[in-house]
């Protein structure tokens, strides 16, 4: 009986062993050929991982999100810590009119409105030139034509003007990336999906003076391209950059300075290691460059009449009465409002740094005589030889 029991147990064990081997062989046969053999860490959930998470692999979407975050680009993008200054700063301290005569003709001034309308008995003349503006206290229209009376009491034919009300930004904290303004002199700014003219357009069109973040710059061919959003790139033709840098320039003493960037045509104001204001400017164009260097505001004047010519034949003569919010920093070169400028973001002056009236007013109220003005050109294209520079002008 015992032998029979042993025999049964032995047969049972053999059957179980054979069944196990059969199932193992079947499992190997049914295993899919694509089964992952890696047994390490799993992929991290999509997110930003600025340091090694340790328990997952920050690859795929996480890798891209982290690369953007290192540039300051987050999803959704964070707005700049800034606001627009008080619109009342745009108000001009004087009334301004443009002289309505061809540039080659002198402008006659008359003792009375009747003489001005009749065009007789002029008492003096303003020299010919393409840029002539006067401040006035009264305007009269005769036969549909405007005539203005100056503070001196003289009359002349001139048209009251409207001026640019563009304003920069006041900052409540220093942003962690650069930013800029769109300038569309060459037409609307079209955004591309990658740097380079071969990249597809996204369909996004940006307009003049729109503010955009700048996360990085990449050069393709002879053009710099700016990353302004996820897969959104714009060429330099259409943008002017503020290069955020709260470190004082060499030579600056104290914690207040104004930075004028000639290449980007921007102005930034720093106080106590923080960016507090930024805007677009118009600086000196060739050959009347704004001179690079470190200067100090030596004279502030609420209004200043500016005139002069640089060409031998005086064909570039300008006469500008009561230029508002003037801050001299380098001989006759000054920071000031420019009621005659329709565009900012392009060099076009005789050496001064032009701003909108609102921006110049804000800066005039903040600045003190003695404050530092750091003028530089990150491209290195502006000459630095002092012998090339005249005293400068508007």
Would you tell me how many other CB atoms lie within 10 Å of the CB of residue 213?
22
Q: Give the three-state DSSP class for 64.
A: helix
Query: Which among 48, 43, 49, 52 is positioned nearest to 74, based on CA atoms?
Result: 48
Distance CA(230)–CA(386), nearest Å, equals 44
Q: How far apart are alpha carbons 323 and 126 in whole angstroms?
A: 17
Q: Is 198 exposed, middle or buried (0-12, 13-18, 19+ CB in 10 A)?
A: exposed
Q: Tell me, what DSSP letter sits at residue 134?
A: E
Catalytic residue among 56, 177, 350, 352: 352
Q: For residue 281, give the nearest of 292, 265, 293 by alpha carbon.
A: 265
Is 177 noted as a catalytic residue in this protein? no
44 is catalytic: no
Q: Which residues contact 94 (CB under 8 A, 6 or more apart)?
A: 135, 303, 321, 322, 324
- Measure the CA angle with vertex 335, ends 259 and 91; round to 5°: 115
* Cα torsion through 112, 117, 120, 126, rounded to 10: 80
Which residues, in sequence order, are CB contacts of 25 under 8 Å at separation 6+?
Answer: none
CB contact at 8 A, 92 and 357: yes
Distance of CA 279 to the CA centre of its chain: 6
Which strand (E) or helix (H) includes residue 320? strand 318-330
- Half-sphere exposure of 50 toward its Cβ, with a 13 Å CA cutoff? 7
Contact 322, 161 (CB under 8 A): no
Catalytic residue among 44, 336, 350, 361: 336
Residue 182: both structure tokens together: 């769109």
Upstream peptide bond of 76 is cis (omega within 30 degrees of 0)? yes
Q: Where do the H-state alpha helices sit in 208-261?
A: none
Catalytic residues: 336, 352
């Amino acid at each position: 009986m015992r032998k029979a029991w042993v025999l049964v147990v032995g047969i049972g064990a053999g059957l179980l062993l054979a069944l196990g081997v059969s199932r193992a062989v079947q499992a190997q046969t049914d295993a899919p050929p694509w089964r992952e053999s890696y047994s390490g860490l799993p992929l991290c959930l999509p997110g930003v991982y600025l340091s090694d998470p340790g328990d997952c692999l920050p690859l795929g979407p996480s890798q891209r999100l982290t690369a953007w975050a290192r540039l300051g680009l987050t999803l959704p993008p964070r707005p700049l810590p800034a606001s627009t200054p008080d619109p009342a700063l745009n108000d001009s301290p004087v009334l301004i009119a443009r002289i309505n005569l061809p540039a080659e003709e002198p402008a006659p001034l008359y003792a009375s409105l009747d003489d001005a309308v009749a065009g007789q008995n002029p008492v003096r003349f303003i020299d010919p030139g393409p840029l002539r503006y006067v401040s006035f206290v009264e305007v009269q229209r005769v036969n549909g034509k405007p005539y203005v009376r100056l503070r001196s009491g003289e009359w002349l034919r001139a048209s009251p003007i409207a001026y640019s009300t563009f304003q920069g930004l006041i900052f409540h904290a220093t942003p962690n990336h650069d930013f800029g303004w769109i300038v569309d002199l060459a037409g609307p700014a079209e955004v591309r999906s990658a740097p380079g003219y071969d990249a597809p357009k996204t369909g996004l069109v940006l307009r003049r003076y729109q503010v955009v973040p700048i996360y990085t710059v990449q050069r393709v061919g002879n053009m710099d391209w700016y990353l302004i959003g996820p897969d959104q790139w714009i060429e330099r033709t259409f943008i002017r950059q503020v290069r955020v840098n709260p470190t004082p320039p060499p030579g600056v003493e104290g914690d207040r300075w104004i930075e004028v960037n000639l290449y980007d045509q921007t102005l930034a104001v720093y106080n106590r290691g923080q960016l507090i204001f930024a805007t677009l400017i118009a600086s000196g164009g060739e050959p009347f460059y704004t001179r690079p260097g470190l200067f100090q505001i030596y004279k502030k004047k609420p209004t200043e009449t500016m005139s002069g010519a640089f060409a031998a034949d005086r064909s570039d003569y300008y006469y500008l009465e009561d230029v508002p919010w003037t801050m001299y920093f380098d001989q006759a070169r000054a920071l000031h409002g420019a009621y005659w400028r329709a565009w900012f973001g392009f060099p076009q002056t005789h050496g001064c740094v032009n701003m909108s009236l609102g921006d110049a007013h804000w800066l005039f109220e903040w600045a003190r005589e003695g404050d530092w003005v750091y003028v530089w050109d990150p491209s290195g294209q502006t000459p630095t030889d002092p012998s090339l520079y005249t005293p400068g002008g508007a």
